[in-house]
């Protein structure tokens, strides 16, 4: 029996840390970081060995050398002169020969021999590409994220990288935003669980080990809620929403020991993310006691500048909180940004800014100290070079065990949205037609941010299906071209029905049909916001034509965001949400479609009926006139006959059936500083083994500030044989009962608390307990 337990307590327990409260922000836990933290004897002396080495190094550094350390250059910027001058970091360089070359210059030719920290965007794999993070979150199994991060860390470190810009933990309620694909969806607790798990996977207990890297959680903070869902756009919200919804996943990463934090492109309440003293210094470094470093996002420091009448040659401006390059550099450094990516204002103007007093030597030294601390903890001073032979050995990547892990993760991440008349699973003995533009596609299966994965690495749906059902056929129907904006043309996306007759003929010649449709990978991720999130082109018409044949069929969706698919829901008897599953896409789809794997994934984000409902999310606050489709003067859309999304957060079906009992409590009242334990019994009431995710939701019906209608406070994924039962337990404390006020304080008020148990956010089995004074 497999168990994956996640509660407000279990998130921390799995990380070997004290209690983490994703809905509250207590002081940083007294977590042990194994060899990365001071020993008791060293702490008694006031400094650990790493800090003493940093002290000695900083005393020897000139101002110029310090300014070089806070500079991060791209693979296209770095030169021998930069390395010899002591540049701090380089990103996106993955050639081990070149990494060794620049590292050798830095270590052997610079005055102090400080190694360079090489970094890369290993988001969901380096060569062994796992499901996109939004897909992985659908597993409701943080272990999926941890294994993904561990394999990605090992492969990244093999080529000489020692930092990854992951995990991305931006909570988002807007599927128009392309980067929703990179995070864990709309819930802060689910995001927090995966945040901590991915940090554990990447760093382990000691990221100086040869198979580990320093993680960088991003994007700090509230980047996932831009106005209109347009990437890089402004964000404005109250302190309480910031703390209850958007900060918790970052706090979970910090408590798990994350080495660095990336500040965001967006402005928050008028302050750019990489120039925000409140978030970077007051909250992150002081309140949470984060001792790693803050790296800016790509040109984010430059973007604090006001744009002149004529756009500067280097571009990158707009927020208007800084007048020019020097003031942008000063603003970012003094706010708490320690390392500047791509733009070079701190490095270039730092000496003058020190003389003028616009930056302080103490703040510069602090930034340098934080960067050096991570380099020492990463073991770069002892082991700066990469083993080029190993880095070039194909056996170092895409190992059979890694591919098996990616296949398992993809299967766990798929969500069965609909399954009328038990259409799925299909029989491999019957003749199967795979139809659709993504049916024999390798390129898009890797999803956005595919690391150094190659199209040839990926298994297409047709290849996976044919391996199980040898008589299977494939017909595309139409094509999807993975174009980059701003050059997208209507003809890129299933713009003609010229291939529909052939698809219909293929369906008529088969016993059953798998229709593979969705987005291209270029339609998701950074700079890929969409105003229309329905199926692109004529894909729905293709589905309609196949339905008209009368053959049983299932739609398999590949996409990086929730789509508006009411027509698909009305047309298709079965719908499987596969997201972008990674290198083992086709095998994993075949596993699920033919019943080798019983789908147990749940949605980490709501699917709207129409884009006009956005933002729509389960943990919304109530209104004095809640939605009622039978009333006029209520909070509803007059042109919709529903108050709900098409599919709600936590929704997901199975090939078997389950019963999740009402929560049972160990007490009916608890003090504000006490704990209460809820138990639920999960029973497989069907005829085949399967996975269920027991979910526990909390609602505070009467509070001084209006509270969400419910919020997730615990979940557990279990595998049960037919007739088997399992009792799951969730222990809650003030982090669950409480909420933040508009001054940022955690408030725990006396009164009645409602708990709802079930298998989705629509859970309706309720118990109550009382929080006393």
Instruction: Tell me which residue of 260, 188, 180 sits closest to 217, measured CA to CA.
Output: 260
- Tell me the C-alpha distance between 759 and 720, whole Å: 15
CB contact at 8 A, 482 and 521: yes
Instruction: Tell me which residue of 143, 161, 142 sits closest to 152, measured CA to CA.
Output: 161
Active site residue 297: yes
Instruction: Tell me which residue of 239, 324, 233 sits closest to 279, measured CA to CA.
Output: 239
Q: What ranges make up the beta strands (E) of 511-639?
A: 512-518, 553-558, 574-577
**141, 174, 297, 402: the active-site residue:** 297
Q: Is the previous residue joined to 219 through a cis bond, with omega within 30 degrees of 0?
A: yes
Contacts of 210 (CB under 8 A, 6+ apart): 157, 383
Q: Is the previous residue joined to 167 through a cis bond, with omega within 30 degrees of 0?
A: yes
DSSP 8-19: TTHHHHHTT-S-
Name the 3-class secondary structure at 574: strand
Return the H-helix or E-strand segment holding 361: helix 361-377
DSSP state for residue 680 in the 8-state scheme: E
Return the H-helix or E-strand segment holding 157: helix 142-158
- Tell me the C-alpha distance between 155 and 402, whole Å: 10
Q: What is the dihedral of CA 555, 557, 561, 567, to 10 degrees?
A: -20
Return the H-helix or E-strand segment holding 388: helix 388-391
DSSP state for residue 115 in the 8-state scheme: P
DSSP 224-293: T--GGG-TT--B---HHHIIIIISHHHHHHHHTT-SEEEEPSSEETTEEGGG-HIIIIIIIIIIS---SE
Burial class (CB in 10 A: 0-12, 13-18, 19+), 356: exposed
Under the phi-then-psi rule, with left for phi > 0, alpha for psi from -120 to 50, and beta for the rest, what region is 199?
alpha
CB contact at 8 A, 525 and 549: no
CB contact at 8 A, 215 and 293: no
Contacts of 150 (CB under 8 A, 6+ apart): 201, 202, 204, 211
b/e per residue 668-691 (b: at least 16 CB within 10 A):
eebeeeebbbbbbbbbbebeebbb
Residues taking part in catalysis: 297
């Amino acid at each position: 029996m497999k168990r994956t337990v996640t509660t407000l307590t279990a998130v921390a327990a799995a990380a070997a840390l004290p209690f983490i409260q994703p809905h509250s922000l207590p002081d940083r836990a007294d977590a042990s970081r194994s060899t990365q933290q001071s020993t008791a004897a060293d702490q008694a002396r006031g400094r650990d060995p790493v800090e003493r080495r940093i002290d000695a190094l900083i005393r020897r550094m000139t101002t110029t050398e310090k300014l070089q350390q806070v500079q991060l250059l791209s693979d296209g910027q770095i030169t021998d002169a930069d390395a010899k001058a002591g540049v701090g970091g380089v990103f996106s360089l993955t050639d081990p020969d070149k990494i060794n070359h620049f590292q050798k210059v830095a270590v052997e030719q610079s005055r102090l021999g400080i190694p360079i920290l090489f970094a890369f965007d290993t988001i969901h794999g380096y060569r062994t590409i796992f499901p996109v993070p939004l897909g992985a979150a659908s597993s409701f199994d943080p272990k999926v994220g941890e294994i993904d991060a561990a394999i990605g860390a090992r492969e990244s470190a093999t080529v000489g990288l020692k930092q990854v810009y992951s995990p991305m933990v931006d909570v988002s309620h807007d599927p128009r935003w392309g980067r929703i694909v990179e995070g864990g969806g709309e819930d802060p607790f689910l995001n927090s669980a995966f945040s901590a798990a991915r940090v554990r996977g990447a760093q382990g207990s000691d990221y100086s080990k040869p198979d580990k890297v320093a993680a960088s959680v991003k994007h700090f903070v509230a980047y996932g809620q831009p106005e209109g869902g347009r990437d890089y756009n402004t964000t404005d919200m109250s302190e309480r929403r910031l703390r209850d919804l958007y900060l918790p996943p970052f706090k979970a990463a910090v408590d798990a020991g994350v080495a660095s934090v990336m500040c965001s492109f967006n402005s928050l309440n008028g302050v750019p993310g990489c120039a925000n003293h409140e978030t970077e210094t007051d909250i992150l470094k002081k309140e949470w006691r984060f001792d790693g470093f803050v790296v800016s996002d790509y040109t984010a420091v430059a973007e604090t500048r006001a744009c002149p009448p004529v756009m500067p040659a280097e571009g990158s401006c707009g927020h208007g909180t800084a007048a020019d390059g020097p003031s942008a550099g000063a603003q970012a450094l003094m706010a708490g940004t320690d390392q500047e990516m791509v733009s070079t204002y701190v490095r270039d103007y730092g000496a003058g800014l020190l003389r003028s007093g616009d930056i302080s030597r103490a703040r510069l030294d602090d930034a340098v100290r934080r960067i050096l601390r991570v380099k020492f903890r990463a073991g770069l001073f002892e082991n700066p070079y990469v083993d080029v032979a190993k880095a070039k050995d194909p056996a170092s990547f895409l190992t059979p065990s890694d591919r098996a892990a990616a296949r398992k993760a993809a299967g766990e991440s798929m969500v069965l949205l609909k399954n009328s008349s038990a259409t799925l699973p299909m029989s491999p003995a019957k003749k199967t037609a795979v139809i659709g533009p993504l049916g024999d596609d390798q390129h898009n299966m890797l999803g956005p941010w595919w690391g150094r994965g190659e199209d040839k690495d990926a298994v297409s749906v047709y290849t996976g299906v044919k391996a199980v059902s040898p008589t299977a056929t494939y017909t595309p129907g139409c094509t999807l071209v993975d174009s980059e904006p701003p050059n997208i043309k209507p003809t890129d996306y299933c713009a003609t029905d010229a291939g529909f007759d052939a698809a219909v003929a293929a369906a008529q010649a088969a016993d059953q049909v798998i229709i593979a449709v969705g987005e291209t990978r270029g339609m998701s991720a950074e700079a890929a916001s969409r105003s229309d999130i329905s199926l692109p082109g004529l894909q729905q018409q293709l589905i309609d034509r196949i339905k008209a044949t009368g053959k049983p069929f299932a739609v398999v969706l590949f996409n990086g965001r929730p789509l508006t698919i009411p027509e698909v829901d009305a047309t298709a008897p079965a719908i499987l949400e596969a997201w972008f599953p990674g290198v083992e896409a086709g095998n994993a789809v075949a596993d699920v479609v033919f019943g080798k794997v019983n789908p147990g994934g749940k949605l980490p984000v709501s699917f709207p009926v129409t884009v006009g409902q956005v933002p729509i999310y389960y943990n919304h606050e109530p209104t004095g006139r809640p939605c009622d489709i039978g009333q006029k003067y209520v909070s509803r859309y007059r042109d919709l006959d529903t108050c709900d999304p098409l599919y709600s957060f936590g929704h997901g079906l199975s090939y078997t059936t389950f019963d999740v009992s009402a929560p049972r409590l160990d007490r009916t009242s608890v003090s504000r500083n006490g704990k209460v334990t809820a138990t639920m019994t999960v029973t497989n009431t069907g005829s085949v083994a399967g996975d269920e995710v027991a979910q526990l939701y909390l609602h505070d019906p009467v509070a001084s500030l209006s509270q969400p209608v419910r919020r997730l406070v615990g979940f557990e994924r279990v595998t049960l044989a037919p007739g088997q039962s399992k009792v799951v337990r969730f222990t809650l404390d003030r982090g669950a009962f409480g909420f933040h006020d508009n001054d940022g304080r955690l408030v725990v008020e006396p009164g009645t608390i409602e708990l709802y148990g079930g298998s989705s956010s629509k859970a309706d089995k309720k118990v109550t307990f009382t929080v006393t004074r």
